[in-house]
Structure 1
Amino acid sequence: MHAALTDIPDKQRHRGLLAAFLLLCGFLLRLYFLQKHAFLAADSVLYQDIALNWLHHHIYGLTEGGQIRATLIRLPGYPAILAALSWLFDGFLHASAGTLRSFLPLLWLQIAADLATCCIVAIMARKIGGTACGLAALALACLCPFTANYAVAPLTETFTLFFLALAFYLLQHWLTDGRARWIIPLAFAISCSVLLRPDQGLLAAAILPVLLASGTHKTLRRRLQPAILCIALTALPFVPWTIRNYRIFHVFQPIAPKQATDPGEPAPLHFERWFRTWGADFTATQDAYWNYPEDAINVADLPARAFDTPLQHEQTEKLLQQAGYEGKLNPQVEAGFEALAQERIAAHPLRYYVLLPIARLVNMLFHPRTEMLPVAERWWQFRQHPAQTIFSLFYAALNLAYFFAAIAGFRGALKRETLLALSMAGYIVLRCLLLLTLDNSEQRYTLEFFPLLIVFAACIWMNPGQPPKGSSADGP
Structure 2
Amino acid sequence: MLITRKQWLLIGALLVVAAATFRIAVAHWLPNDGPDDGRVYAQMARNLLEQHVFSHDAQPPYQPSLIRLPGYPVFLAGVYSIFGHTNNGAVRVVQALIDTATCGLIALLAFYWQPNEKRKVASAIGALALAAVCPFTTIYAATILTEVLTNFLMVATFVAVTLAFRRSTTEDIEEEKKRNFKRALLWWMVAGLLGGLNVLFRPDSGLFVAAVGLTLAGTMIWSVIRRKRSAENDPKRRRRFALPAHSKKLFASGLISGVLFSVAFAAVLTPWTIRNWRVFHQFQPLAPAHGEMPGEFVPRGYNLWLRTWLDDESYIAPFLWSLDTDPIDIDDVPPYAFDSPEEKKRVTTLLEAYNNEQDTDTDADADSKTDNSANPDEDKDESDNKNPNESDQPESDQKPQVEMTPQIDALKRAHTMWFDTHSQYWPFVGTLLPFSDLDHTTHQQIWLPLFAGLTAAYTLIGLAGMWFLWNSGSFDARRWLLLVVLAIVLRLILFSLIENPEPRYLVEFFPLLSVLGGIAIAQISKLTRKPQMDTDKHR
**1:227 corresponds to which residue?**
258
* 1:464 CA displacement: 8.9
1:394: which partner in 2? 450
Which residue of the partner structure matches residue 215 of structure 2? 210
RMSD: 2.7
1:142–1:435 CA distance, 2 compared to 1 (3 A): same
Change (3 A) 1:406 1:454: same
Q: How high is the TM-score relative to the length of structure 2? A: 0.76
In the TM superposition, 1:423-462 aligns within 5 A as: 423-462=483-522
Once the two structures are TM-superposed, the CA of residue 411 in structure 1 deviates from its matched residue by: 2.1
Q: Equivalents in 2 of 1:459, 1:342: separation in Å?
A: 56
Q: Deviations over 1:94-151 (max 9, x none)?
A: xx3xxxxx21222111111111111111111123331211111011000000000112
Deviation at residue 229 of structure 1 after TM alignment: 0.8
User: Do the aligned partners of 1:245 and 1:251 also contact (CA within 8 Å) in 2?
Assistant: yes
Scaled by the length of structure 1, the TM-score of the pair is: 0.85
Distance 1:434 1:340, change over 3 A: farther
Q: 2:156 matched to 1:166? A: yes
Q: Aligned ranges for residues 34-433 of structure 1 at < 5 Å?
A: 34-40=27-33, 41-89=35-83, 92-93=84-85, 96=86, 102-129=87-114, 130-178=120-168, 179-214=184-219, 218-219=248-249, 220-307=251-338, 308-309=340-341, 311-312=345-346, 314-315=348-349, 317-319=351-353, 321-322=355-356, 324-325=358-359, 326=361, 330-331=385-386, 333-336=388-391, 343=402, 345-346=404-405, 348=406, 352-353=407-408, 355=409, 357-375=410-428, 377=430, 379-384=432-437, 385-386=439-440, 387-414=443-470, 415=472, 416=474, 417-433=477-493
**8 Å CA contact retained: 1:412, 1:462:** no
User: Which piece of structure 1 moves more, 447-456 or 17-26?
Assistant: 17-26
Cα distance in 2, alignment partners of residues 341 and 103 from structure 1: 53
**Residue aligning to 1:32:** 25
Instruction: Report Cα offsets for 1:289-319 as digits up to 9, x if no partner.
Output: 2211223444444323345536357436514
Distance 1:377 1:317 in 2: 28
Distance 1:240 1:23 in 2: 37
- Show the counterpart of 1:99: none
The alpha-carbon deviation at position 271 of structure 1 amounts to 2.2
Deviation at 1:67, TM superposition (A): 2.3
Give the direction of change, closer, same or farther, for the CA distance of 1:18–1:465 in structure 2 (3 Å limit): closer
User: What secondary structure does 1:361 align onto?
Assistant: helix
- 8 Å Cα contact 1:122-1:135 kept in structure 2: yes
SS at match of 2:282: coil
Kept after mapping to 2: 8 A contact 1:277/1:344: no
| C-alpha distance in structure 1 between counterparts of 2:505 and 2:96, whole Å | 20
Cα distance in 2 between the residues matched to 1:341 and 1:31: 59
> CA separation in 1, counterparts of 2:138 and 2:518?
18
1 CA distance for matches of 2:42 and 2:399? 38
Q: Secondary structure of the equivalent of 2:47?
A: helix
Q: Choose 50-59 or 145-154, whichever is displaced more.
A: 50-59
Identity in percent: 28
Work out the CA distance in 2 between the residues paired with 1:402 and 1:342: 47
**For the residues of structure 2 that align with 1:332 and 1:304, how far apart are their CA atoms?**
22
Aligned AA for 1:426? Answer: L
- Shift in Å at residue 193 of structure 1? 0.9
CA displacement 1:30-73 (0-9 Å, x = unmatched):
13322332211111111111122223322111215432011111
* Structure 1 pair 64–126 and aligned structure 2 pair: CA distance change class (3 A): closer
* Deviates most, 136-145 or 229-238: 229-238
User: Cα gap change, 1:300/1:377 in structure 2, threshold over 3 Å: closer, same or farther?
Assistant: farther
State yes or no: 1:14 paired with 2:7.
Answer: yes
1:469 aligns with none
Match of 1:81, SS state, is helix
Offset, 1:227:
0.9
1:318-348 CA-to-partner distances (Å, cap 9, x unmatched) read 14523643456544633259x99973634x3
Counterpart AA for 1:38 = P
Instruction: Quote the Cα distance in structure 2 between the aligned partners of 1:276 and 1:302.
Output: 13
Q: Confirm or deny: 8 A CA contact 1:274 1:341 kept in the other structure.
A: no
Residue type at the aligned position of 1:425? V
- CA distance, structure 2, for counterparts of residue 341 and residue 14 of structure 1: 75
User: Is the contact between residue 431 and residue 448 of structure 2 (CA under 8 Å) also seen in structure 1?
Assistant: no
Partner amino acid, structure 1, of 2:140: Y
Q: Deviations over 1:386-408 (max 9, x none)?
A: 43144212211211211111111
